[in-house]
Amino acid sequence: MHLPEIVLPADPMSDPICVHPCESVAHRFTARAQRALLLAQSHPAAAPSLQFFAQLSQLQSENAPPEAYTQLTPTPPPQAWLDRITEELHPLPQPAEAPNLCPNCSSPPQLGILKPQGDGHALYLACALCRHEWPYSRKHCPNCQSESISFATAPQLPGYQTLTCDSCKIYLHLLEQSKLPGLIPEADEIAAQPLDIWAIENGYHKLTPNLAGI
């Protein structure tokens, strides 16, 4: 699959939410499709999922009809998955009721981003629906907010950490912005599949499955 090269705005993720189709939303989906294809080359273990995600993102950039998505998979995708794709194109603002939920749309986080701040890193959670990022405590679980959290890494995945919680048994990946040049969080998160396998084998479940189904 070959996608045209595009010139991105300085920070496409910071664009205000708008109703699709609009140029910035189309750019966002095209950019993440390109990023997923690039990552598929350097992360063979996650390549099928990244290629699937690239096709999905390309359809989203074209505002494709629902039937187009059903042709992406050998079996009909669950309605909840199709609903989520549609909602991602038209995220509705809803005030959040808890610090671990997106302040824009109240959805749970997909992942965390560690951004350089002072001598260390600050944690931002990234929304699974509208992709908004908001600061969050590094000491608390992004689900149950307990302090029973640990972090795992894998030598083949520099720049990735997996946060696990032994209180509610969730996990999610944290991406170190400084070690992942060109980072597009929702695409880069899919490349962490070896850590997904480790977490699942150790009895954890992902807080929010990504759009590739993991």
Residues at the contact surface with Zn ion, assessed by CB under 5 A? 102, 104-105, 107, 127, 129-130, 132, 141, 143-144, 165, 167-168
Instruction: Please say which residue, 33 or 172, places its beta carbon nearer to Zn ion.
Output: 172
Q: How far is the CB of 115 from Zn ion (least distance, A)?
A: 18
Report in angstroms the alpha-carbon separations of 158 from 66, 106, 178, 195, 207.
37, 31, 11, 11, 22
Instruction: Please say which residue, 61 or 107, places its beta carbon nearer to Zn ion.
Output: 107
Q: How far is the CB of 54 from Zn ion (least distance, A)?
A: 22
Q: How far is the CB of 124 from Zn ion (least distance, A)?
A: 13
Closest CA to 188 of 145, 103, 131: 131
Instruction: Please say which residue, 39 or 211, places its beta carbon nearer to Zn ion.
Output: 211
- Backbone torsion region of residue 120, taken as left when φ is above 0, otherwise alpha when ψ lies between -120 and 50, otherwise beta: beta
Rounded to an integer, what distance in angstroms lies between the CA atom of residue 214 and that of residue 205? 10
Long-range contacts of 149-155 (CB under 8 A, 24+ apart): 152/195, 152/198, 152/199, 153/195, 154/194, 154/195, 154/198
Radius of gyration of the chain (CA): 17
Q: How far is the CB of 159 from Zn ion (least distance, A)?
A: 24
Q: How far is the CB of 111 from Zn ion (least distance, A)?
A: 13
Rounded to an integer, what distance in angstroms lies between the CA atom of residue 141 and that of residue 120? 19
Closest CA to 193 of 168, 213, 166: 213
Instruction: Please say which residue, 46 or 168, places its beta carbon nearer to Zn ion.
Output: 168
Instruction: Please say which residue, 127 or 212, places its beta carbon nearer to Zn ion.
Output: 127
